[in-house]
Each structure stands twice: as C-alpha cells, then as structure tokens.
Amino acid sequence: MPLVGHVAALMREVAERVVMPRHRALAAHEIAEKSPGEVVTCVDREAEAWLRDGLDRLETGARVIGEEACAENPALLDGIGSGAVWLVDPLDGTANFASGHGAFGIMVALVSDGEPVASWMLDPTTGRMCHAERGLGAWIDERPVRARATGRLRPVAALASQFMSPAERARTHRAAERRFALEPIPRCAAESYPRLVIGRHDIALFQRILPWDHAAGVLFLTEAGGNAAHWDGSPYRVGSGRAGLIAAADVRLWETAVDVLRGPLSEVGTLGALAA
C-alpha cells in the first residue's frame, strides 16, 4: 500500500476505535483545562499515541510532533522548520468534541524543511477525507477537487479573531463587515479549510497559527487552487515565526481580503512563539 493509503487507513482506524466511541460519551473527569480557555480530553492523548506509533511504524525517517506532546514539552518545537516532520493534531476542535456539538477532525501533515509536502484531514463523523500532495493536487474522498468561491456578491468570510483583544477584534470586524458577509468560524481548522474549497466560504482569517492546525489545511487549499499566505504576504512556512494567515478560495479573493483588512491587522499584536 502506498504511503497515502497507509496514513489514511491509520487515521480511519483511530477515528473508529478511539475517537467516535467517546463522542458525546465523555465523563467530566475526562475533560481538563490545558491552558486558560482551552480544554484537552483523554481522547486527544490516546489518539495522538495511536497516530504517533502508527506513523513511526512507517519508518519514513520523519520525527513525529504532536499537539499534546508539545503541550507537555514545548522544546519539541525547536527546529521544527528543519528536516522531515510528521505534524499531528489528533483531535482538532477539541472544545466542540467535548461539548458534543460542532465540527472536529484529525489532521496529519508531512513536512520537509518547513514545506508541507503531503496532508490528510479526516472528518470522523462523515468519513470525509481531504488529502493533498505538493505539486500533484488535492482530493476529497479520492476524487480530484478544485477550490470554488461561493459566487455571492458579498464574499463570505470567517474570522478567527478570538485571540485578539476586544478593541482589535472590533476594528477587524468593522472593516470586514463593510465588504464581506461574516459567518461564525467552525472553531476547527480541519473544517475551515475544506469550506474554502467546497464553496461554502470565500475567506478565512487566522491569528494564532500553531503548526499542527494549519500545515495540512494550507497544502490542501493551495493544491486545490486556493491561496494562503501570512498577513504580510509572505508564503506560509512551518517555523517561520511570521504572524497570522489569510486563506481564500482564489488569489483575487485573497487580495481583496488583504486590501480590506490591512489597516486593522497592522494594529493587531502577534502571538510570539505561538505563530511558529
């Protein structure tokens, strides 16, 4: 079986055996606060262990860096932009999963010297698998896909502004509302990026860009013909330390978003190491 199939099969196994049996079945003691405002569950940790062991068995020579391991040991992020790395988000959208409402997913990306080269995003509830390979294209459930805009007169935008200060958030949303129709974010990057490809959203804004949240989605979107870049216009690269991301269904929409949001975003504070 090719590498693509091995990783997809591993993720589906984790979804079936670890994630879905605990959906809407978590006990209170199985949910904890990882940091202010962020929760972690026993499922996050168990799923990451399964994924880490499975990826290690593939013997690609890439080290595995998972979200929960980094929460315990942030030094794992050192040198993340060098060499071959598996980036793992075992349960993206943990708060949604813990509440029993909203989207959640499993994300895996293979990165080489900071450049995503292959990615997988699985929706455990529907079985939808989004996959991409650098230079080869993007697929949903093994069918080639190209990003398409909503076609609405006012482009649809979802702004992940929850980590901004109240004043920063207000300025950003005021500017966006003049040109865009705003929709709530799904609070799950594994859902945000597919929405830009399947014609549900046109633009997405992210301030905090933890690597396991975005490497897979950026590659999927760009291989489908969309565009994603840092707020300053520089290409996305794992470990660059640059601030924020704007993602869009095509380059024209990305340029429009930058024009509209450039002013308020210039006043938004960065998140330091969190943007690595």
Residue intervals of the chain classified under CATH 3.40.190.80 are: 156-275
Q: Please tell me the CATH superfamily of domain 3-144, with its number.
A: Fructose-1,6-Bisphosphatase, subunit A, domain 1 (3.30.540.10)
Tens digit of each residue's pLDDT (9 = 90 or more) over 68-104: 999 999 999 999 999 999 999 999 999 999 999 999 9
Residue 257's nearest CA partner among 186, 119, 157 is 157
Of 5-14, 156-165, 232-241, 264-273, the poorest mean pLDDT is in 264-273
> Using an 8 Å Cβ cutoff, are 51 and 6 in contact?
no
* pTM to 2 decimal places: 0.95
- The CB density around residue 196, as the number of other CB atoms within 10 Å, is 30
The CATH number that domain 156-275 falls under is: 3.40.190.80
Instruction: Mention every residue, 6+ apart, whose C-beta is less than 8 A from residue 142.
Output: 129, 131
